[in-house]
Amino acid sequence: MTYSSNSLMALTRRPAHRNPATPGREAEDQHKRAMNKRQENRLSMFYAVKSTLEENNAVWSGTPAIVTAKGDYDVKVKDLEDALEVQLRDIRGHAMDKRNAEEAMIAETLDVAGKVMAYATTIGDESLAEAMNIVPSELRRYRDSVVAQRCQDVHDSANGVLASLADYGVDAAKLTAFQALIDAYLVENTAPRLAITTRKNATAVIDELVDETLTLLNRRMDPLMQGFAITDPEFHRKYTDARIIVDLGGTGDGEEEPPAPPVPPTP
């Protein structure tokens, strides 16, 4: 089956873009994650070529060079799909996990700090008591790495007087669990940035793969198809039609609508 301009547009058109409501730096606009128009137009063409070749397998499958080129072509298209999946992955879940880990760490920090403060006040250690005099707003105004360090200070201070804290509800198991919450937060703290970096890398990979796939068509598949203009003109026409890159256009207001990724053809 050969895709027409209208059918390709129907595959890729979607409702007008709305900005995500989730706040934070990680909640980037969807159009920054979507394929650009050049990439999307070419991927639509790649699917049309793939569909045409597969529907006319009997015509060209007796030529080993075409079979090899088709296999390499399928690998390129699959690599593009895999990279696109990474590019479009919603990373806002990482930010939510980070916030949840931070809240769990802060809650435990306030609990332990309060118990140590009570102990320090009882024995007259004003320095320790003041160091443990922490309110939630203090922890939440710190930057990511600083809040973890402040919570670690509370853990370490409690560990230093652990033998005296049994009556206050603090034991080794509680401090072990506290340290696990701090460590979990440190892991989640880097996850959103790593996800953003991974997605940016996928975007660069997509551009390279689009160019490589075009080269494969231009330098290998197209020359191999030329002979069918003589032996099977109907198939050759279908192939050359599929090779047309259709410009799916934008919103019409001077700014391109972010396209959805093309849907692979149903076998």
Mean of pLDDT values over 103-129: 95
Instruction: Give the per-residue pLDDT at 31.
Output: 37
Residue 259 lies in a domain: no
Residue 60 scores a pLDDT above 60:
yes
Of the candidates 192, 209, 234, which is a domain's last residue?
Answer: 192
pTM across the whole model: 0.48
Asked if residue 186 and residue 104 are part of one domain, the reply reads yes
Each residue's pLDDT tens digit, 78-114: 998 888 877 666 555 667 778 889 999 999 999 999 9
In this structure, of 12-16, 127-131, 151-155, 165-169, the range with the lowest mean pLDDT score is 12-16
% of the chain exceeding 90 in pLDDT: 52
Asked if residue 235 and residue 153 are part of one domain, the reply reads no
Instruction: Give the per-residue pLDDT at 128.
Output: 95
Q: Write down the mean pLDDT value for the chain.
A: 79
Asked if residue 54 and residue 180 are part of one domain, the reply reads no
Residue 260 lies in a domain: no
Asked if residue 134 and residue 83 are part of one domain, the reply reads no
Looking at the 3D structure of the chain, how many domains does it have?
2
Asked if residue 175 and residue 123 are part of one domain, the reply reads yes
Residue 247 lies in a domain: no
Structural domain including 205 reads 8-18+28-91+201-242
Mean of pLDDT values over 152-157: 96
Residue 210 lies in a domain: yes
Residue 3 lies in a domain: no
Each residue's pLDDT tens digit, 202-259: 677 888 899 999 999 999 999 999 999 999 999 999 999 999 988 766 433 333 333 3
Asked if residue 97 and residue 87 are part of one domain, the reply reads no
Asked if residue 211 and residue 166 are part of one domain, the reply reads no
Confidence of residue 37 (pLDDT cuts 50, 70, 90): confident
Asked if residue 99 and residue 75 are part of one domain, the reply reads no
Contact call for residues 50 and 73 (beta carbons, < 8 A):
yes
Asked if residue 63 and residue 105 are part of one domain, the reply reads no
Each residue's pLDDT tens digit, 155-214: 999 999 999 999 999 999 999 999 999 999 888 876 556 655 556 666 778 888 999 999
Asked if residue 209 and residue 84 are part of one domain, the reply reads yes
Residue 26 scores a pLDDT above 70:
no
Asked if residue 38 and residue 104 are part of one domain, the reply reads no
Total residues belonging to the chain = 267
Instruction: Give the per-residue pLDDT at 22.
Output: 41
| CA dist., res. 96 & res. 93, Å (int) | 5
Asked if residue 128 and residue 183 are part of one domain, the reply reads yes
